[in-house]
Structure 1
Amino acid sequence: MKIQDVLLSDYGKASSIASPVNQLMTDFAVDFRDGCDINLGVGYVNERTIPHQQIQHACENVLAHPKKYRASLNYGGAQGSPNLIESLRRFYIENRIGGITEQILNNRDIIIGANGATSLLESITHLLPAGIVLTADPMYYIYCNDLGRKGFRVTAIPEDEEGLDAERLRAKLKMLGDEKAAIRFFYVVTVNNPTCTILSNTRKRELVDIVTRLSYEVGRKIPIFFDNAYSDLVHDSAVEPLASALCYDPLGIVYEIGTLSKILAPGLRIGYLIGSKGPFLNGIIQRTSDIGFSAPLINQEIASYLLDHGIEAQIQKVNTGYYQKAKQVKAWMTELLGDNVQECRGGSAGFYYYLTLVNVATDTTSDFFKFLTRTTRQEAVDGPPGSQHPKVIYIPGEHCVHSDGEMVEVGKRQFRISYGFEELPQIHTALKLMRSAIAYSHENSLGYHCT
């Protein structure tokens, strides 16, 4: 008798096929050549922003003070290290992060994820039943793809210069009619990934008001999660200080997800959630226990020490570095890409630019993409076998916009580049290659139309 393969759940079946971006980055990494190829697609922080010596010093101090940092190399509690939770409270209150006060935090809990902010986002999908999730378009493709694999129906609302468009959201809710009862939660990235559009304070308050009214309409609290992954990286002084959505939340439906990955080090895997006490947060804590007891306690204590010793200077250093890079990259894009760019978003926060080109496709089948990944099958363009010309990878807009949304067509001319990980000389080279890729695309387009 033939033995069948392992029986997979629906989620297992969906996960057995790599997501488009996962496959794209995997394919690129296989043949990646350090010092030659350029990765503007990866969302890594810049290595020079990671405080290596301070982390080493923090680790030594944690291990040297076992009375304060108890059993730091053992298992920890599922809510998180009491030291880290207290350090986060102090950091928020003393620095008035988002206008948060002690009174606001007294009515909320802070919990630490098992493995960074992503583990908290993933836990949400286990605690809430499948249904409709509303978010912005372009969307955070990694999480939205995961939601789809879990059986959620993602509905993406186009953003404008202030973030998720509130008027379009109201129109969508009206169109849903009785289906509004199937809405499970709202997911809003305050500095959007991929566009780095900053959610304005006015829009933030408006979104909380919309979801509050909707909660009363359907007769139950509908949570709205604000992903603040890049909120500490607002490096343009012209941007108004970002207010916390917790300040606008009389009903207790706002949850904010933060991370120390961007301002300290992704390898510490410290993500946290702030929200109203109750069954939902209790469920997140239990989920953390189920999947790994806690985040590594030594990492939590190191993060606590760093928050207590010089975090303000570290944040300033990180933002100064990204501001300088953003300014230089924008100047090069203007010089090298010029009128070929229809729209450019980003540059004031985070470390991404999101570009829309004029009459140039950027999807994985496009001439632009093939030129940069050296897959045109033309040796004059790609270089000789075994010694190809430098490759450049980016995130195509086709993967960033919702496949059933309003931005499908324009998404085919969009792409995200990161100025975080690679250094400026490599980014300059990549932009020059993009200029050549645009010229190659135009040449092929003219040749096609002539024939």
Structure 2
Amino acid sequence: MSRINDQMTPSYRWAKRAHDTVVSAVIATAHGKPVELGGGYDFPDTLPDIVSEAMAAAQSKHETLQYGPLYGLDELRDAIVDYLRDDGITTARENILVVNGAKHGLDLACRVFVEPGDAVIVAAPTYLNAVQILKNAEAHFVSIPQDDAGIDTEILRQRLQARHDAGEPMPKLLFDMPDFHNPTGIAMSAARRQRLVELAMYYDFFIIEDDPYRRIRFEGEPVPPIKAFDNTGRVIGLGTVSKILAPGLRIGWVNAAPPILRRMASQKSDGGTCPFLQRTLVQLFRNGKVDQHIATLSTLLRLHRDTMIDAIREHLPGTSIRTPNGGYFLWVRLPPQIDADELVRRAAKEGVSTLSGRLCFAEEPSDSFLRLAYSFSTPGQIADGIERLGRAYAAMRSEFGPPPHRDL
């Protein structure tokens, strides 16, 4: 019998969306396990003890070991409503959909809103996993720069008006992280948040507000979420316990108008988010462990941030950083002669895992930035990791010479 394909190794007929998929992995080095300064993982020493809550959940196995309700457990949805109320957001159970983390919520939003070629507004830079999800949805990007107040709403207005004047279709969505933005650490001003809602109404697009880091605050007063400025249902809020509690719980939520939630829920293919984990989280909200954990984590991560900044100033001269008031990340601008991708490769050989900022741009990627995370490693490991990074950095500066002169 003849065979259509007689090769020993099969010829994979990939779907278009899978052709350019890149899976990152920890690089083994001569130093052993690398110091992790790239990924936004939770700090292992503070992961919560959930044994008693899990045992309580197990007592209701008729609920927790079955398929879960499509929208989530009512008690958890009510707990999320209370949690959001503390941030100044007025919502109700019918506005909450429980999902498997915020990325799941973004994926569902793309399924119900984005057709191939539809325009989606993002900041430049933006969250790298959001870029991949939007690419999988075959979105067309409209990238808008940021400054210290967040996404530049005047440049956005100009770009939108130009599209309107040219007869081009308006973007359907805007995605952003307004609080301790990943990767830049920027907290958007209240005026910019309000202006975004005004622009969304005028130019007919919806805002996806992803807010995983809002409660991880070190200094300053909180600004109301974008959703708090929304009176017409233009904002789709995404939340998660991955950064404030534990990513392994895989619980997030969408806060949106019921017509949006109905369509998003219909696209869920998970049979309902795990009810065992939902019931466990209900107990953690009820007994105050969520708030306690956030307070502990915020105190520790402030020390981590300060340690990393001090080490960068010592070992990476010529770079510039913005000090974030919360969150997980530092955004490091490199001198012009230092290529971020090459620095990441050399740093790996020194035994430290970092992330090139190139991955955080949906369009026109820049090779001038590193995204560093201070969330996972201890202060001692952070200091050691930045010192190792500094060795790779110093070698590149010596090899490539001083930066080119730039007129002021």
Q: Normalising by structure 2, report the TM-score.
A: 0.90
Structure 1: runs of 5 or more not aligned? 216-221, 375-389
The reply to whether residue 76 of structure 1 matches residue 29 of structure 2 is no
Note the 1:303-314 alignment, pairs <5 A: 303-310=281-288, 311-314=290-293
CA drift at 1:244: 2.3
Please point out which of 207, 215, 218 is paired with 1:232: 215
1:15 to 15, 18, 33: 18
- For 1:287, give the aligned amino acid: Q
Cα offset, 1:40, TM superposition: 1.1
Superposition deviation, residue 159 in structure 1: 0.7
Q: Which of 53, 61, 64 lines up with 2:56 in the alignment?
A: 61
Distance, in Å, in 2 between the alignment partners of 1:308 and 1:242 is: 26
Distance 1:37 1:391 in 2: 5
Do 2:32 and 2:351's aligned partners in 1 also have CA atoms closer than 8 Å?
no
Query: Post-superposition shift, 1:345?
Result: 2.6
1:39 aligns with 2:22: no
Aligned with 1:181: secondary structure? coil
Given that 1:135 and 1:154 are in contact with CA atoms closer than 8 Å, whether structure 2 keeps it comes out as yes
3-state DSSP class of the match of 2:146? Answer: strand
Distance change >3 Å, CA 107–CA 87, structure 1 → 2: closer
> Quick one: distance in 2 between partners of 1:45 and 1:283?
32
What is the CA–CA distance in structure 2 between the aligned matches of 1:432 and 1:370, rounded to whole Å? 15
Contact 1:195 1:346 (C-alpha < 8 Å) held by counterparts: no
CA RMSD in angstroms comes to 2.3
CA contact (8 A) 1:163 1:197 kept: yes
- SS of 1:86's equivalent? helix
Cα distance between partner residues in 2 of 1:105 and 1:146 = 27
Cα 1:180–1:198 shift into 2, 3 Å: farther
State how far apart, in whole Å, the 2-side matches of 1:88 and 1:214 are. Answer: 31
Asked if 2 retains the 8 angstrom alpha-carbon contact of 1:188 and 1:226, the reply is yes
438 and 33 in structure 1: CA distance in 2 versus 1, 3 angstrom threshold: closer
Query: C-alpha separation between the residues in 1 aligned to 2:284 and 2:136?
Result: 37
Q: Which residue of 2 aligns with 1:426?
A: 381
The whole-number CA distance in structure 1 between the counterparts of 2:140 and 2:265 is 25
1:5 Cα deviation from its structure 2 partner = 5.2
3-state SS of 1:198 partner:
coil
Q: Is the CA contact (8 Å cut-off) linking 2:81 and 2:92 kept in structure 1?
A: no
1:185 lines up with 2:173 in the alignment: yes
Match of 1:399 in 2: 359
- Which residue in 2 is equivalent to 1:206? 195
| Ranges in structure 2 where 5+ consecutive residues have no aligned partner | none
Aligned AA (2:230): D
Aligned to 1:325: 304
Q: What is the aligned counterpart of 2:330 among 341, 346, 353?
A: 353
The within-5 A match list for 1:40-439 is: 40-51=37-48, 53=49, 55-64=50-59, 66=60, 71-93=63-85, 96-97=86-87, 99-100=88-89, 104-106=90-92, 109-113=95-99, 115-130=100-115, 131-177=118-164, 178=166, 180-190=168-178, 191-215=180-204, 222-236=205-219, 238=220, 240-278=221-259, 280-288=260-268, 291-310=269-288, 311-338=290-317, 340-341=318-319, 343-364=320-341, 366=342, 368-374=343-349, 390-404=350-364, 408=365, 411-439=366-394
Paired residues of 1:235 and 1:349 also in contact (CA < 8 A): yes
Q: Displacement, 1:362?
A: 3.2
Q: CA deviation at 1:400?
A: 1.5
More helix by share: 1
Separation in 1 of the partners of 2:167 and 2:185? Answer: 31
Cα pair distance change 1:46/1:35, threshold 3 Å:
farther
Cα distance between partner residues in 1 of 2:40 and 2:147? 23
Matched to 1:60, the amino acid is: M
Residue deviations 1:234-268 (CA, integer Å, cap 9, x gap): 222x2x21312222112211111000111111001
Q: Which residue of 2 is the match for residue 381 of structure 1?
A: none
Change (3 A) 1:428 1:350: same
Give, in angstroms, the shift of residue 107 of structure 1.
8.8
Contact 2:96–2:261 under 8 Å retained in 1: no
By how many angstroms is 1:182 displaced? 4.2
Aligned AA for 1:359?
Answer: P
Q: Contact 1:107 / 1:277 at 8 angstroms: preserved in 2?
A: no
